[in-house]
Amino acid sequence: MSTELETLIVERSEGVVTVTMNRPARKNAANGVMWRELLATFDDVATDRNDRVMVMTGAGDAFCSGADLGSSSDVAGRPGDPYLVQMRALGDVAMRLHRFPKPTIAKVGGVAAGAGMSLALGCDLVVASDTARFSEIFSKRGLSVDFGSSWLLPRMIGLHRAKELAFFADIINADQAAEFGLVNRVVPAADLDGFVDGWAKRLAAGPPLALSMTKSLLNNSFAASMDEALEDEARAQSVNFASADTAEAISAFVHKREPRFEGR
């Protein structure tokens, strides 16, 4: 993006884009500006061929403490819009993340609460430090769940556990989150950056087309029959077999070298 961002830091290195929510004094609580900047950033990274993987994280000692309720007149849309309009704008951000065509990793250190927890769970992979904490905090604020939690949680951990988290809004630690099935890995805080960097680089070196279609196939699997899934797989695989990347992978296998994927 060419414009300077007020609430985000976007850094690029070897195909990995790290998006840091940068309001540490508010534990990276998201105001309307941040949601709008996230939407624009997601669109930018999604369409840049040089960007292979997106890592979401937060500045300071938090991931994201949720929506900034101190800015309730500016939730996500234009300031002063009716709340329904603003919440639909917030939903647009959640849907952009869900439909994001490249692998995403949430790097969670510190608190991820409310919409911040939903944002982390909306990523493809979640890596938490052993100091991370999670909460579906909404009911303690007199709110129902949002940013896709009503869809994400039952699919990730089952309906009864989803209701437990949403009804009681308890804060759970990283080990509890792992037990529930909310995170992929829990690592010591000192190892969080290195671990996520390793995963991100591995994904960035992978085949972009194949990974993108695999992500889509898995995301769509809950709404597909076995017949539909097999047909979707067949179409995706036919694209792969016609691609330069699959030819490169086969050549690399034959010549016993690492493949170099270009996304075409």
Residue 62 in contact with residue 106, Cβ under 8 Å?
no
Domain-embedded: residue 216: yes
Q: What is the pLDDT of residue 2?
A: 46
Point out the domain boundary residue: 189, 204, 219. 204
Domain-embedded: residue 218: yes
Tally of domains in the chain: 2
Domain-embedded: residue 1: no
Domain-embedded: residue 264: no
Domain that holds residue 217: 208-254
Within this chain, do residues 165 and 229 fall inside the same structural domain, yes or no?
A: no
Within this chain, do residues 222 and 242 fall inside the same structural domain, yes or no?
A: yes
Q: Over the stretch 132-152, which tens digit does the pLDDT of each residue have?
A: 999 999 999 999 999 999 999
Q: pTM score, two decimals?
A: 0.94
Within this chain, do residues 40 and 80 fall inside the same structural domain, yes or no?
A: yes
pLDDT exceeds cutoff 50 at 233: yes
Within this chain, do residues 116 and 230 fall inside the same structural domain, yes or no?
A: no
Sign, Cα dihedral of 202, 206, 212, 215: negative
Mean pLDDT of the chain: 94
Give the C-alpha separation, 122 to 117, whole Å. Answer: 9
How confident is the model over 65-92, as a mean pLDDT? 81
List the 53-58 sheet strands across, edge first: 8-13, 16-21, 53-58, 104-108, 125-129, 185-187
Within this chain, do residues 107 and 43 fall inside the same structural domain, yes or no?
A: yes
Q: What is the pLDDT of residue 82?
A: 86
Residue 62 in contact with residue 110, Cβ under 8 Å?
yes
DSSP-derived secondary structure for 145-167: --TTHHHHHHHHH-HHHHHHHHH
pLDDT exceeds cutoff 50 at 77: yes
Please, which pLDDT band fits residue 123 given cuts at 50, 70 and 90?
very high
